[in-house]
Structure 1
Amino acid sequence: MRPTQTPTPADPDAWNAYLAEGNAKQARKRVAADVLLRDAAGRVLLVNPTYKPGWDLPGGMAESNEAPEDAVRRELVEELGLHLTLRGLLVVDWVAPHGPWDDQLAFIFDGGTLDQDQADRLRPRDGELSEAAFVPTAEAGLRLRDRIQRRFEAALLALDTQRPQYLRDGTPAI
């Protein structure tokens, strides 16, 4: 009996079926994408979600096959009516499985600084947020839950050092 040969690109249908089988066996990652957004006074924007306790950075979960930066832009439009050009990546955090959740990749992007008129017009646009507020960075750190607080602090460091931060469960990994 001859062993089965691995298909090659010379047979596109067999090759694609082979790749699809491998793809189906690989891990799927949940992806969260948030933004660090400031006002002219240097305060940071926090949002108060209705579906979980505590304050958070604006953003949310990526949909299937959605790039993280597209996810955060979509969430900003849906939740705050804000169209924004991102200024770069600040943080990537690999979050280990916890509770009922598998592991996750969490991104924070730099949203830059809004002018006062833009900041004054921000309001929750859907039922997912009860409030949106610009707060001083020290106060923001106190309002955020532990996991997001560590990411937030890493994002501030990334802004200061001009170097994105890679975290593993909220702790610098490299």
Structure 2
Amino acid sequence: MVDSYLPEDELKAFIESLPTRRLAAGAVIRNEAGQLLLVKPNYKDGWTIPGGTVEAGEAPQSACFREVAEEVGLTLEPGRLLVVFHGLQMGIWGDSTYYIYDAGVLPAHAVITLQEEELTAYEWAAPEDLGSYFDQGQAYRLQQAFRALQTGAVYEFSSDSPAR
């Protein structure tokens, strides 16, 4: 129990009044040619990278690689954090934080098995072609992930950042 100067019911009411933030995580999975693995969900338009929502009691990195295993059938060694994106007042999603992790380079013999309940296709895309698959914001986030792979840095920005 946390020590508090407030009675427990008042502390609970205060905590429940605090803002909530949705968390999600995605993986940059590359092939030997340096292309990025993209997946096509059946529940929304467009392409995305493997990943998904962080569940209660789960860390973002764990969620990312759990989702990778579920969505594309790959059990990969969790890699380092590349990007943290804060989506501020993103429509029905409200405030959210999206983590992008390095999932390494797949060998040519790796087999991708799509989760048919959520995904309809996968494709490999060159980093310079991301603008034809994604809106400006998502393309920028993934370009920053590739930049992080080259520099060793972690990039953090938000939807109200001038560069986005």
Bucket of the pairwise TM-score, normalised by the shorter protein: 0.7 to 0.9
Percent identical across equivalent pairs?
A: 31
TM-score when normalising by structure 1: 0.83
Structure 2: distance between partners of 1:34 and 1:103: 17
Runs of 5+ in structure 2 lacking a partner? none
Q: CA RMSD in A?
A: 2.3
Identify the residue that residue 26 of structure 2 maps to in structure 1.
Answer: 34
Identify the residue that residue 88 of structure 2 maps to in structure 1.
Answer: 96
TM-score when normalising by structure 2: 0.87
Structure 2: distance between partners of 1:33 and 1:17: 34
Q: Tell me the CA shift for residue 10 of structure 1.
A: 9.1
**1:124 partnered with 2:118:** no
Q: For the structure 1 residues 10 and 78, does the alpha-carbon distance in structure 2 shift closer, same or farther, using more than 3 Å as the test?
A: closer
**1:66 partnered with 2:58:** yes
The structure having more radius of gyration, on CA atoms, is: 1
Could you give the per-residue CA deviations for residues 61-100 of structure 1, whole angstroms, max 9, x where no partner exists?
1122321111111111111111111220000011011322
**1:86 partnered with 2:78:** yes
Structure 1: distance between partners of 2:93 and 2:49: 20
Residues matched between the structures, number: 162
Identify the residue that residue 164 of structure 1 maps to in structure 2.
Answer: 154
Q: SS at 2:91's partner residue?
A: coil
Q: For the structure 1 residues 136 and 10, does the alpha-carbon distance in structure 2 shift closer, same or farther, using more than 3 Å as the test?
A: closer
Structure 1: distance between partners of 2:7 and 2:122: 50
- Work out whether residues 79 and 102 of structure 2, in 8 Å CA contact, stay in contact via their aligned partners in 1: yes
